[in-house]
Structure 1
Amino acid sequence: MAASYHTRSNSFPTRSHPLTSDVGENLRRLRYSQAASTSLSSSIAHELNGLQDLHDSVDKMLQLPLVQQALAQGQHKKWVDDLLNGSLRILETSSIAQNALLQIKESTQGLQSVLRRRGGDEIELATEVKKCIASRKALKKEVHKALANLQGMGNKCSSLINEEHVSALKEVEAVTLAAFGSLLSFISGAGIPSKLSGFVLASKLIRPKRIACEEVKTETNEFEKVDAALTLKSVSTVYLQNQLKELESSIQDLEEGLGSLSRRLIKARVSFLNILNN
């Protein structure tokens, strides 16, 4: 019943534990600390680091006996099932982002190999460029689809929940999904379909309005720069190599941050499953 879904239960702790406060503090820090970022790239990297801290605090909160007892109670099954499904969605989205970065890295490495090879001719280079363009086009379609799905997930996270720990975990889920939306948009470069513009609103959970608007208007990220260079009729190999090198560095940073975050997401989900199975 809808009414009972929103009614506060006395089975949950009424006083915030310090570890629960840590979750809230990491959420606030993730929302508002972006003002110090000087670029979209550094902002995305900062978000990944912030998410690592956030999910570390979530895992610690899940170790609290009071929280475990509350979540394990059958009367909260609907909420718990929703949280469990949310953690799976987050892991699936993380996997999508990791696979996208790997695909881009492999594609650009093939092009870099041709550029470095002294015997590489213009025909071979043109062929490799076409392969990169085709790969990017296919990847963007996949990412746009993932973004559309994420937008729908975000809308499902808006239900009012009065229980403190469930509410905190749902907010963590929403913030994490919004951050992955920013990451996937960043990876896809230019040409995000207008139907995904709702993520501009979702990303305000992560980045202050002033910073977000300035970045959307003024910054071209490394992925977009390489896309633009590949479509030029005439481009120097030195310029293209430099752009690919910058992109490679950005991908490496994102892969490291995403890999570290993924391990924390898995750890938190295992903790959640253990609570339900005990």
Structure 2
Amino acid sequence: MAPFPLNSKSHNHSRSNSLPSKPHPITVECNESLARFWACDASFSCSLLSCKLRDLQDLHDCIEKLVHLPLTQEVLFQERQEKWVDELLDGSLGFLDVCTAAKDALLHTKECTRELQSILRRRRGGEVEPTTEVKKFLTSRKVVRKAILKALGNMRSLASKCNVSLTNKDHQTGALFGLLKDIEVVTLSIFESLLKFISGSTQAKQSSWSLVSKLRHSQRVACIEADENEFAKVDAALQSFVFAMTSKSDSIKNLQSQLEKMESCIQELEEGLECLFRRLIKIRVTLLNILNH
């Protein structure tokens, strides 16, 4: 996609028929960030997902700078009655909803994890039998998966709008639209991979999971391997305990170990999501201010 041709020396609000000699540095920064996302690996671990969330924060920081530029604001204001601008606003709200769903899933899982850890520690003194609590945790994981499936269902409408193209628009408007749509694609892709990771899914289910991969042939949606997924490991440890696949003592030791690792992973992902959430809010507020000016 051609870079959005913003002139770093332009500060007026009149539309120019001549194109700037070179793209604005912020546009170059955005496109370089996008290039790193398209080249990302096809599998994710907790640490890599955390890294991608930080990269996504940087990318949306870049977008916030972009929408503050006078020429960007001019384009958005003049196009404020167009469908693509409405979809841009819908997308910004959709990102906040998906981010909230991921945060809620992590928070719910963390609370259940700490409760079960407390039960397992008390068991050492023979105070409690943890089987009931382990089954409750398994039930809570089903609740989380159900919420994630709902969030992914909501993402389908967002993903479908990323395929829309503009016609009969000038170069500047088309380039801005294309850049923003590319950023929507990578944002949805990371959210999809994150939600799948939290669900503990260890298989790439093309029909039900891959919402974004069809949008860009070069984009590869993550396939999470069980040995890289702390959530999947906990699910397996829970099943092992309930169905007595190993001795109770070994099952509990394994479960405690996996719970600790998952809790650490949750903390890492929560921090990244919270920072990203704040950036997404700032961008939406900026867009609303521009369009309602």
Displacement of 1:195 in angstroms is 3.2
- 2:277 is matched with which residue: 252, 262, 266? 262
Counterpart check, 1:186 vs 2:188: no
- For 1:249 and 1:12, the matched residues in 2 are separated by 54
Compared with structure 1, are the counterparts of its residues 205 and 225 closer, same or farther at alpha carbon in structure 2 (3 Å cutoff)? Answer: farther
Which fold has the larger relative contact order, with Cα–Cα distance below 8 Å and residues 6 or more apart in sequence? Answer: 1
Compared with structure 1, are the counterparts of its residues 253 and 216 closer, same or farther at alpha carbon in structure 2 (3 Å cutoff)? Answer: closer
Give the partner amino acid of 1:30.
Answer: F
Compared with structure 1, are the counterparts of its residues 74 and 30 closer, same or farther at alpha carbon in structure 2 (3 Å cutoff)? Answer: closer
Unaligned runs of 5+ in 2: 1-14
After superposition, the CA RMSD in angstroms is: 2.7
- 1:88 is matched with which residue: 90, 93, 96? 93
More helix by share: 1
Displacement of 1:202 in angstroms is 5.5
Q: TM-score, normalised by structure 1?
A: 0.84
Which digits, 9 at most, give the CA deviation of each residue in 1:121-146, with x for residues without a partner?
A: 452x1121011011001111111222
Residue in 2 that maps onto 1:48: 53
- For 1:70 and 1:12, the matched residues in 2 are separated by 14
Is the partner of 1:251 in helix, strand or coil?
Answer: helix
Is this contact kept in 1: 2:80–2:86, CA < 8 A? no
Number of residues of Structure 1 aligned to a counterpart in Structure 2: 262
226-235 or 49-58, which deviates more? 226-235
- For 2:261 and 2:182, the matched residues in 1 are separated by 34
Larger of the two Rg values belongs to structure: 2
Compared with structure 1, are the counterparts of its residues 159 and 219 closer, same or farther at alpha carbon in structure 2 (3 Å cutoff)? Answer: farther
- For 1:55 and 1:181, the matched residues in 2 are separated by 17
Is this contact kept in 1: 2:202–2:224, CA < 8 A? no
Which digits, 9 at most, give the CA deviation of each residue in 1:49-79, with x for residues without a partner?
A: 1101100000000110111011011565322
Displacement of 1:102 in angstroms is 0.2
Counterpart check, 1:24 vs 2:31: yes
- For 2:49 and 2:135, the matched residues in 1 are separated by 29
Is this contact kept in 2: 1:47–1:206, CA < 8 A? no
Counterpart check, 1:224 vs 2:232: yes
Residue in 1 that maps onto 2:163: 158
Give the partner amino acid of 2:200.
Answer: G
Displacement of 1:31 in angstroms is 2.2
Which digits, 9 at most, give the CA deviation of each residue in 1:178-233, with x for residues without a partner?
A: 11010000000137766314247259789658xx5xx5456441000000100112
Displacement of 1:98 in angstroms is 0.3
Is this contact kept in 2: 1:178–1:202, CA < 8 A? no
Unaligned runs of 5+ in 1: 1-9
Compared with structure 1, are the counterparts of its residues 13 and 243 closer, same or farther at alpha carbon in structure 2 (3 Å cutoff)? Answer: farther
Compared with structure 1, are the counterparts of its residues 230 and 12 closer, same or farther at alpha carbon in structure 2 (3 Å cutoff)? Answer: farther
Displacement of 1:119 in angstroms is 3.8
Residue in 2 that maps onto 1:276: 291
Counterpart check, 1:115 vs 2:127: no
- 1:99 is matched with which residue: 99, 104, 110? 104
Is this contact kept in 1: 2:30–2:63, CA < 8 A? yes
- For 1:248 and 1:62, the matched residues in 2 are separated by 37
Which digits, 9 at most, give the CA deviation of each residue in 1:70-91, with x for residues without a partner?
A: 1011565322111011100001
Residue in 2 that maps onto 1:78: 83
Compared with structure 1, are the counterparts of its residues 250 and 218 closer, same or farther at alpha carbon in structure 2 (3 Å cutoff)? Answer: closer
1:176-215 aligned at under 5 Å gives the runs 176-190=187-201, 195-199=207-211, 201=213, 212=222
Runs of 4 or more, structure 1, over 6 Å off, are: 10-13, 203-207
| Identity percentage of aligned residues | 44
Is this contact kept in 2: 1:13–1:66, CA < 8 A? no
- For 1:59 and 1:150, the matched residues in 2 are separated by 22
